[in-house]
Amino acid sequence: MTGQRADLEKLRSFCAAVLLAAGADTPSSAAAARSMLHASRLGVDSHGVRLLPHYDMVFRGGRLNLSPKMHFDRKRSGSGILDADNAHGALAAYAAADHACDMARDAGIGAVGISRTSHFGPAGAYAHAMAEAGMIGIVMCHSDSFVRLHDGAERFHGTNPIAAAVPTADGNPWLFDMATSALPYNRVQLYKSLGRDLPENTASDANGIETRDANSVEMLAPLGGEFGFKGAGLAGLVEIFSGLLTGMKVSPEILPMGGPDISTPRDMGAFVICIDPDGFIGRGLLLAGMERYLTALRTSSSRTGGRVMAPGDREWEEAKHRKINGVPLDPETVIEFERLAGRAGVEVPF
Beta bridge partners of 327: 6
49 or 183: whose CB is closer to its own copies?
183
Which C-beta is closer to its own copies: that of 134 or that of 233?
A: 233
Distances (CA, A) of 210 to 89, 146, 165, 191, 268: 33, 14, 34, 16, 29
Identify the residue among 255, 257, 309, 334 touching its own copies (CB under 8 A). Answer: 309
Indicate which single residue of 61, 62, 224, 328 sits in contact with its own copies (rule: CB under 8 A). 224
Binding-site member from 89, 110, 124, 137 for its own copies (CB under 8 A): 110
Q: Does the footprint of its own copies cover residue 194 (CB under 8 A)?
A: no
**Distance between first and last Cα of the chain:** 15
Question: Judged by CB under 8 A, does residue 225 bind its own copies?
Answer: yes
315 contacts its own copies (rule: CB under 8 A): no
**What residues from 67 to 106 belong to the interface with its own copies (CB under 8 A)?**
75-81, 106
Cis previous bond, 277, omega within 30: no
Query: Does 290 sit near its own copies (CB under 8 A)?
Result: yes
Is 139 a binder of its own copies (CB under 8 A)?
A: no
Torsion angle of the four alpha carbons 152, 242, 181, 227, in this order, in degrees rounded to the nearest 10: -60
> Judged by CB, which is closer to its own copies: 56, or 144?
144
- The sign of the torsion formed by the CA atoms of 49, 50, 55, 56 equals positive
Kindly report the length of the chain. 350
d(CA 107, CA 334): 47
Using rule CB under 8 A, residue 214 touches its own copies = no
Q: Note whether 247 binds its own copies by CB under 8 A.
A: yes
CB of 209 to its own copies, least distance (A): 7
Alpha-carbon distance of 263 to 252, in angstroms, equals 19
Binding of its own copies by 107 (CB under 8 A) = yes
Considering only residues 154 to 173 of the shown chain, the ones binding its own copies according to CB under 8 A are 154, 156, 164, 166
Residue 185 contacts its own copies per CB under 8 A:
no
- Cα–Cα–Cα angle for 206, 149, 137, nearest 5°? 125
Q: Is 131 in the site for its own copies (CB under 8 A)?
A: no
In angstroms, the CA 333 to CA 47 distance is 13
| By the rule CB under 8 A, 236 interacts with its own copies | yes
The smaller minimum CB distance to its own copies, of residues 34 and 187, is found at 187
Cα–Cα distance, 8 to 27 (Å, whole number): 19
Q: Closer to its own copies by CB, 308 or 335: give it.
A: 308
Binding window for its own copies (CB under 8 A); candidates: 7-15, 31-39, 212-220, 230-238: 230-238
Interaction between residue 346 and its own copies (CB under 8 A):
no
H/E run at residue 338: helix 331-344
Residue 264 is which amino acid? T
Q: Quick one: which of 158, 311, 326, 349 contacts its own copies (CB under 8 A)? A: 311
- Nearest of 106, 117, 98, 97 to residue 76 by alpha carbon: 106
